[in-house]
Amino acid sequence: MQKNIAVIPGDGIGPEVTQQSIKILEAIAQQFSHQFHYSYCLMGAEAIDKTGSPLPDATVETCLSSDAILFGAIGDPRYDNDPMARQRPEQGLLKLRKLLGLFANIRPITAYPSIHHLSPVKSRQLEGVDFIIVRELTGGIYFGKKELNEAHTQAMDECVYTLKEIEQVAHLAFAYARSRSKKITLVDKANVLETSRLWRKAIQELAAQYQDVQVEYMFVDNAAMQIILNPKQFDVILTENMFGDILSDEASVLGGSIGLLPSASLGASLALFEPIHGSYPQAAGKDIANPLGSILSAAMMLDYFQLKEEAALVRMAVEWTLAHGFVSKDIDPVNNYSTSTIGDLVRDFIENSLSSDINKFNIALSKSTII
């Protein structure tokens, strides 16, 4: 199979984690005789520095002519601490999502048994946790009208949803539920927000078309609590843009680290894959960031290409590193391995060159991955 992949390394740790994913995609290409062609593009703070725009036209053009997009991370403290900045790195990603029509963000939440003990949530709560968050990605308060009065004493962000936008993402969520445990939880704030009431009505009506799927409704404040207290109850969480943003970071603690979680942003004809973590500027260039969120995003890309066996092999390799304690600093502050070493180990597993009794001592010394 031949695929053109637009690669946007982005800011902070984005480039170094993305580099590990490319390593893995290349190992897969070798092993299964595929050809992946990569076109590197600018977006975010780096793009502002080099071109004056967080999303240069060339990036949009390359993305539009690619089969999929692999994206690292976005954000820079220079802008976070300057509320008056005219341009912001994040505008690049938001604009790209909108321009490419990436209306659904899929975030699978997995709690790997081998690292249950590293999650702040008790192990017995984590057994069997396996759900996905389907977050609407191109509407709501993120994209509503924004206003700041002249005196800078009043600001406004409008939250708008159309029935069409809700139905589009809801159909996708129902399809996911059908392929899983057949349960959807719509998370909203229908006791307060008009938009949430529209979501609820839309889902109630759609449910008739999906009689085999059980539908539950939950207010977002309660959902924030339930994700920690009883995460097993969820199969597919469907929610609007901002609630999904917040709840997916919260849900990431179940898995032990936000650094582990991948995501796919899906549109009608294009998809973008990115880890859900941010740019983690303090770690940039230090080779300490967790590359697994990005590598698992590359696995989601392989699934999207219908390369199921390849995707499963990447996941198996990732689980192998976790089960053997080859984890980065965010997961284990005492015994940890570098970003690139973890990337090497995942690659070696894919190339089938790792023996089961691998010598950790040698790896720590960067001597050899193989005994």
Identify whether 189 is a catalytic site residue: yes
Residue 268, classed as helix, strand or coil, is: coil
Q: Please count the residues of the chain.
A: 371
Among 261, 276, 307, 314, binds ligand IPM (CB under 6 A): 276
Distance separating alpha carbons of residues 213 and 330, to the nearest angstrom: 37
Comparing every residue's Cβ against ligand IPM, the nearest one is 90
Based on the number of CB atoms within 10 Å of its own CB, is 82 exposed (0-12), middle (13-18) or buried (19 or more)?
Answer: exposed
Name, in order, each residue with C-beta under 8 angstroms of 291's C-beta and a sequence gap of 6 or more. 16, 17, 20, 21, 328, 339, 340, 342, 343, 346
Residues in 190-249 at the binding interface with ligand IPM, rule: CB under 6 A: 245
Q: Is 11 in the site for ligand IPM (CB under 6 A)?
A: no
Identify residues 73-92 at the interface with ligand IPM (CB under 6 A). 74-75, 90
- Confirm whether 249 is a catalytic residue: yes
Q: Tell me the C-alpha to C-alpha distance, in Å, between residue 208 and each of 177, 212, 294.
A: 14, 9, 37
Contacts of 371 (CB under 8 A, 6+ apart): 355, 357, 358, 359, 362
Point out the catalytic residue in the list 80, 182, 217, 249: 249
Binding string, residues 41-80; x marks residues near ligand IPM by CB under 6 A: ---------------------------------xx-----
Size of the site for ligand IPM (CB under 6 A): 7
Report the site for Mn ion in 229-248 (rule: CB under 5 A).
245
**Token digits for 111?**
């709690």
Among positions 93-122, residues that touch ligand IPM (CB under 6 A) are 93-94
Query: Rounded to whole angstroms, how far apart are CA atoms 359 and 371?
Result: 6
Tokens found for residue 139: 């509407």
176 an active-site residue?
A: no
Q: Which is nearer to Mn ion, 62 or 252 (CB)?
A: 252
The answer to whether the beta carbons of residues 314 and 346 sit under 8 Å apart is yes
Contact 171, 205 (CB under 8 A): no
76 binds, among ligand IPM, Mn ion, none (CB under 5 to 8 A by kind): none
* Nearest distance, CB of residue 34 and Mn ion, angstroms: 31
Query: Minimum CB separation from ligand IPM for residue 237, in Å?
Result: 15
Give the residues lining the site for ligand IPM (CB under 6 A). 74-75, 90, 93-94, 245, 276
Binding site for Mn ion (CB under 5 A): 245
Catalytic residue ranges: 142, 189, 221, 245, 249
